[in-house]
Structure 1
Amino acid sequence: MPDTPPTFVFLCGLLSDARVWEPVAARIPGRILAFPGFDTLAAMADSVLASVEGPLVLVGHSMGGRVALEAVRQAPARIAGLVLANTGVHPPAEGEAAGRQRLTDIARTQGMAALADAWIPPMMGAEPTRVEALMPSLRAMVEAYPLEAYLGQIAALLGRADAGPVLAGYGGPVLLLSAERDRWSPPAQHAAMHALAPQATLTILEGAGHMLPIEAPDATAAAIAAWAAAQGLIAAEEPDA
């Protein structure tokens, strides 16, 4: 383990707040940071680096993974490890802006509740009963976001650079965490990232979609904890007597 134990920092994705990471952070203590009020990934990453001192293990979900990579770009020596969950490294794809425009139009004209109903269900991959149980909290999370905060995050995502070279140049430990039923950031996308960072561990969890940390928190926490212990980033759990 490093001389100064790193702080685990859980980075939230688009339209997300602490409730996405709380079930995982209950097992792996750390800080949870969300990003309303920002309109660039660079500013988000700068806020992470300014908020927590010392070495960091950045655990980023979706947009949070891109924030983690931007933090590597800005301060690689401070990043003791990376967990990139349900995310990617590519710049905006052709047609991405139009797809996001459809959702921002819903938010502008019909409100954040309508956006929640259009945006959340296609991302989910857990069993129907699990999704049904999660939906009230996830809807409330999206509805609590101010429209301007959402538009700022969209601007950040559409303004992103190719982070492939950042990942390829990072020599520290990496966990690429994907979900079998994630149609937004599928396992194949994480496999392509693995090719850029061959030292990484690629783990694909079953029975969940893009909102993996809240859909399958026990499996997510177990995967992160096992990887972190193997990398010497946290103490290994003692076996049961």
Structure 2
Amino acid sequence: MNPASESLLLLPGLLCDRTVWEDQCAYFGARYACQVPDYGTLDTLSGMAEHVLRHAPPGPFNLAGHSMGGRVALEVLRLAPQRVLRLALLDTGCQALDPGAAGETERAGRMALLRIAREEGMRAMGRAWARGMVHPDRLDSALFDAVLDMIERRTPEIFAAQIHALLARPDALPLLPAIACPTLVLCGRQDSWSPLARHEEMAAVIPGADLAAIEDSGHMSTMEQPEAVNAAFDRWLRTPVRA
């Protein structure tokens, strides 16, 4: 297939928008039809995936998901594997909410952040939440301000819906060994939210997966190190699609 005729769907994560993919759209936009969906107030990952499929260009497409968007990408693959030419999973995970105390701790933490968003506003919540999003050297930087700006464009209602989706996330681990398309698994080496070890485990069970660790980057790899991410995407998008 001619790359000029291919689409590249770029799925954002929790409270993120096109900003998280801005550098990738600029770099690849002349070669691929780039599309960044907006989930609105959808509150399940499967609902988000169905929305992506309804609004995707006709025919097969290349699919990349960052953070929560990676989980949505796996749901898209589960629902319509024949539509996905190539898959990229960035700074993400695949397992359901942990049972017992670990899961309750995650739930309580997310609910506490939602209370801040409702009582003090989204930017105040972002300042409390997003400090773990980027490499420590990028705190108090223009990039961190851009992350806060992105969070502030969302609402507590959207935050509540996406928290609901993440707390009810399905276990996608059994799906990984059946993935048949060229797959890139990418992670910032200093990602403290979705650590590299988790991505190594995912890549190990996806047939033929390519693992890329992005140096000097936290969770927001597409914004923190866009050139390195674009180079990894270049290799991924040039991988021949399996017959």
Please point out which of 220, 226, 235 is paired with 1:217. 226
Q: Contact conserved, 1:12 with 1:35, CA < 8 A, in 2?
A: no
Who is 1:48 aligned against?
52
**RMSD of Structure 2 on Structure 1 (CA):** 1.9
Contact preservation (8 Å) 2:85, 2:241: no
* Counterpart for residue 124 of structure 2: 114
- Cα distance in 2 for residues equivalent to 1:127 and 1:232: 38
Q: How does 1:48-127 map to 2 (within 5 A)?
A: 48-52=52-56, 53-93=58-98, 94=103, 95-125=105-135, 127=137
Instruction: Output one character per residue of 1:124-166: Cα deviation in whole Å (capped at 9) or x when no partner.
Output: 116338x602122221111111110110001001111100112
Question: In the alignment, does 2:172 pair up with 1:163?
Answer: yes
CA distance in 2, matches of 1:141, 1:64: 15
| Alignment partners' CA distance in 2, 1:107 and 1:159 | 21
Letter aligned with residue 13 of structure 2:
G
Task: Indicate how the Cα distance of structure 1 residues 58 and 24 shifts in structure 2: closer, same or farther if over 3 A, else same.
Answer: same
Tell me, what secondary structure is at the counterpart of 1:21? helix
1:143 aligns with 2:163: no
Asked if 2 retains the 8 angstrom alpha-carbon contact of 1:18 and 1:32, the reply is yes
8 A Cα contact 1:8 1:31, kept in partner: yes
**Corresponding pairs, count:** 232
* Shift in Å, 1:2: 6.9
Distance 1:138 1:28, change over 3 A: same
**One-letter amino acid matched to 1:91:** A
Report the secondary structure of 1:178's partner residue. strand
**Per-residue deviation at 1:232?**
5.5
1:33, CA displacement in angstroms?
1.6
Amino acid of the structure 1 residue aligned with 2:72: V
| Equivalent residue in structure 1 for 2:161, among 152, 155, 163 | 152
The 3-state SS of whatever aligns with 1:72 is helix
Give the C-alpha shift of residue 99 in structure 1. 1.9
Query: Which has the higher relative contact order, 1 or 2, with Cα contacts under 8 A spaced 6 or more apart?
Result: 1
Tell me how far 1:78 sits from its aligned partner. 0.6
> In the alignment, which residue of structure 2 is the partner of 1:27?
27
Q: Distance in 2 between matches of 1:154 and 1:218?
A: 31
Which amino acid letter does the alignment assign opposite residue 67 of structure 1? Answer: V
Please state how far the C-alpha of 1:43 moved relative to its aligned partner.
1.0
Give the counterpart of 1:194 among 198, 203, 209: 203
Runs of 4+ aligned structure 1 residues displaced above 6 Å come to none
Instruction: Pick closer, same or farther for the CA change 1:87–1:26 going to 2, 3 Å.
Output: same
**How many Å apart are 1:54 and its aligned residue?**
1.0
Cα deviation 1:76-132 (Å, max 9, x = unaligned): 111111000000101012222122122112112221111110111111116338x60
Q: Which runs of 5+ in 2 are unaligned?
A: none
Whole-Å Cα distance in 2 between the matches of residues 10 and 40 of structure 1? 18
Judging changes above 3 Å, is the alpha-carbon distance between structure 1 residues 127 and 3 closer, same or farther for their aligned structure 2 residues? closer
For the 8 Å contact 1:36–1:150, the answer to whether it is kept is no
Measured against aligned partners, the alpha-carbon deviations of 1:164-211 in whole angstroms (never above 9, x if no partner) come to 112221111100001110011111000110122031000001011001
Residue equivalent to 1:229: 238
Question: What is the distance in 2 between the residues matched to 1:161 and 1:70?
Answer: 9
**Distance (whole Å) between structure 1 residues aligned to residue 85 and residue 153 of structure 2:** 33
Distance 1:11 1:36 in 2: 13
- Identical columns (%): 40
Q: Structure 1: any 5+ residue segments left out of the alignment?
A: 234-241
Contact 2:181–2:241 (8 Å) recurs in 1: no
Normalised by the length of structure 2, the TM-score is 0.90
